Amino acid sequence: MNFDASTSCKACPLRRLPLFLPHTPQELESIESLKRGEREGKAGDELIREGAARPGLFTLREGWAFRFKTLSDGRRQILNFLLPGDFIGLQQRMSEGAAHGVTLLTDARLCVFESDAVWELHRRQPSMGYNVTWLAAHEESLVDDNLLSVGRRTAEERVATALILLYKRAAAVAPPAARGASAMADIAFPITQNHLADALGLSLAHVNKTVRKLERRRLMAWHAGRLQLLEPQALVQVADLYGDGRPAPRPLV
């Protein structure tokens, strides 16, 4: 993974998206002062290694990644997927080493921060300290929802829930030109059925069977790295999902 030229926080293209809340000039200045630069990585790069003593602190600016834990025999549980705007490495500041790994799912660009950036944000800008807490709570809620899926939802409910939530998250951070005018527009979706199986605690065969069932019912279409929700409301009912899955406005560090 290589360092590259840095974009100012004020000029960050993510800040123009409706998903992200505005920040004051002082808050942006504090974020900028703690930023070491930007990195570009390739799909498959290991951003954080499980057990690493001093893992980094990042904001994902472009691309997708995922957090995971593995057992001694190589079995993997994907904890959640990371999309542009997600703050990475916060949990690692609470333990001696990295409690989980992070791998890039696609080519990506990341903002890199000083290792003590979290504490400095709390000290310099209490409002940004609150925002970091909000982001941590938000990520915990995503993991909680996945735990509900793994523990109680049927295979069909699990797959439907994951596809809805990921679609809505991806659509919210897609450039306006990529989102299209239609609510049913297809979006780039680099997740494979293998990834979904590792996230939902299902076998690959079971995921494949369930996806085909939803496609036969004309609820969604997933092919060639693209996802389209053909009947979003019907899919929400299948998932037994509270709300429509649309992410709430959020801060950006």
For the stretch 34-76, pLDDT in tens is 999 999 999 999 999 988 777 788 999 999 999 999 999 989 9
Pairwise CA distance, residues 34 & 218, whole Å? 48
Average pLDDT, the chain: 89
Question: With a threshold of 0.95, does the pTM exceed it?
Answer: no
DSSP at 241: -
Sheet holding 87-88, edge to edge: 2-4, 35-41, 108-113, 57-62, 87-88
What tens digit of pLDDT does each residue of 102-161 get? 999 999 999 999 878 888 888 888 888 888 888 888 888 888 888 888 889 999 999 999
Give the residue ranges of DSSP H helices in 35-154. 117-124, 126-152
Angstrom distance (rounded) from CA 118 to CA 227: 35
d(CA 101, CA 81): 12
User: Residue 9, CB half-sphere, CA atoms under 13 Å: how many?
Assistant: 25
Rounded Cα–Cα distance for residues 229 and 81 (Å): 19
| Domains of the chain and CATH, by start | 2-144 (2.60.120.10), 154-239 (1.10.10.10)
